[in-house]
Amino acid sequence: MSIENLSCNKSFGGWHKQYSHNSNTLNCTMRFAIYLPPQVSKGDKVPALYWLSGLTCTDENFMQKAGAQRMAAELGMAIIAPDTSPRGDEVADDDGYDLGLGAGFYVNATQPPWNRHYQMYDYVLNELPALVESMFPVNDRRAIAGHSMGGHGALVLALRNPERYRSVSAFSPIGNPVNCPWGRKAFTAYLGKDTTVWADYDASLLMRQASRFVPALVDQGEADAFLTEQLKPETLEDAASHSGYPLELNRREGFDHGYYFIASFIEQHLRFHAGHLAC
């Protein structure tokens, strides 16, 4: 598969690189970022953490604001950050920030016009890892994490595919999208009005029914403006209690929804993943 290098920056002995490629899954040109730790210079293949960002974000938000490279370099872990939606002039969009470009919600859309491009679930699960593992010194030991909409995506992907991921973590995830405004708007547009279909993309419902487990870590700021209406972390706690799911959910006093919060606890998340990736 042909990919184009857009940028390359040395960071903590490793390299942050940005690429574009033609996605067969999304029917458009996609961009992603990858951090390769210094261990790859010795010829080692390293495990990878896939990071899914939130509404309105691109691959750049996490890579530029979270301060994750220092710890990834120490642990010998690659980080891969895809964009949050398909992009391009022919890709369907909406006037709202919470639907369309920058708001793919990591689902496979079934409704027109969205179904032509919005297949982010399959892209993150299959196409992107296949590309990364064929083109870079990255092995098939994978973890997945994300923030807000991306936290929802990370949890859903891990819950539905426990054989693919060693661990999962999230900051401020949308825990019960079938019962919040963000989720209801996106799922109606992408998946249609049959709400029974929505359950396949709801982390709390999937966790409640889970019989195979991926260790999960969630951090939630108690001063998050979206806490009550949109995020609903109590639904994840209830689901984990019901199924015995190995979920650690930390409520962090005073922290909001932004990247100051993520930067404050990203080290703990990367060490959590490293323990399961055998870094």
Q: Name 201's Cβ contacts closer than 8 Å, sequence gap at least 6.
A: 105, 106, 107, 121, 152, 156, 177, 187, 191
Question: Is 148 a catalytic site residue?
Answer: yes
Across-strand partners of 48?
Answer: 78, 142
- Best CA proximity match to 151, nearest among 48, 249, 277, 54: 54
Name the catalytic one among 16, 147, 152, 257: 257
3-state secondary structure of 6: strand
3-state secondary structure of 194: coil
Name the catalytic one among 152, 167, 224, 269: 224
3-state secondary structure of 198: helix
Question: Is 257 a catalytic site residue?
Answer: yes
Instruction: Please give the Cα distance from 167 to 177 (Å, whole number).
Output: 22
Name the catalytic one among 148, 167, 169, 204: 148
Active site residues: 148, 224, 257
